[in-house]
Structure 1
């Protein structure tokens, strides 16, 4: 019992905040030169794992209430964008025998304009652009870091998002500004199309009315969502 009390008395939040910064930094920097789309999504998961650690560190601070209501928001933002991208990429690269890369999406706007538009939305969400689920998630964790007094961590999250835009901009450039080796239209299966547009709808809804969803989660989890004010 004494051992458990001594462990619980340790202030773990500095280590958790450091791990969050390391995850965001490592994922962002590794993504700058990555061309394989599945690896970009995995690195995006690493970055979002860093976001998830911020409310954990805040909750571990002495005399601080847990803010675990943010977990579903951050998870949903990533899963919606990543799920939609996986569906779209699988359709775009289903005829390729090699690993799907950024260049596999060259000319996507001409081959499948609506799917290219959905991919653009998912990329904007991963980059944390306004009116997307990714923006709501990033703003939430930045405010949580500020509420915990870790302003440096909020700055890391902001800079990470800015740098990540460089990787996502390369994909957008391939889709809209580069010609494909083959101009044949991309055929999207019905189920794949449903997944893409359900994810797109969720990304927009979560980006437009995050305050209501946070309120619902606050009631569900019995905690105050006082870190995001609209």
Structure 2
């Protein structure tokens, strides 16, 4: 039976973030095939007829980068459906985002020529515009990256996810550096301490202290992750 609507494909794109050397980093692949051969892009690909979008996302991540399914939470970001976003045909992409600690070095696979972690601040500015000398991203992936960065920044406002990025036991300055890496600026020190210590179950104090400071100041108390997963009201950014 004929249809009034032309066929189109459904794809997935993945913005996978971690913190490396104190900076927010995103996983990119260098495209080995046209379109945009040689350009850097988010991992992704087409959804197969026998899988849903999340299954396709995990499969494409592994096929293009060698990164296995990890315990961190992968969630849908939004759908990108501009008619001209892919020069091959009409392609609607369901973008996914994740922020997880201790992710491995990637390796290029399938149609990717290379795969590596990029510091987000080397790709886009705070206004979302590309930086001078930064590689242009394929398709509409710069916009997806901008939207995904905002999503993970917001997650640190209302969840305790930041505690996953510090080794236990940890000090409050170490935890604050996680927020600085993701937000691009450290939270106000006073507000940060009040929120972390005033939120039931955010952190659990130990009876131990960290190493002495370089100035000979008082040693910081050490903490462990608490059972809480949500922060309400959210932590104020900046």
Q: TM-score band, normalised by the shorter chain?
A: under 0.3
Bigger helix fraction: 1
Bigger strand fraction: 2
**Bigger relative CO (Cα 8 Å, ≥ 6 apart):** 1
Larger of the two Rg values belongs to structure: 2
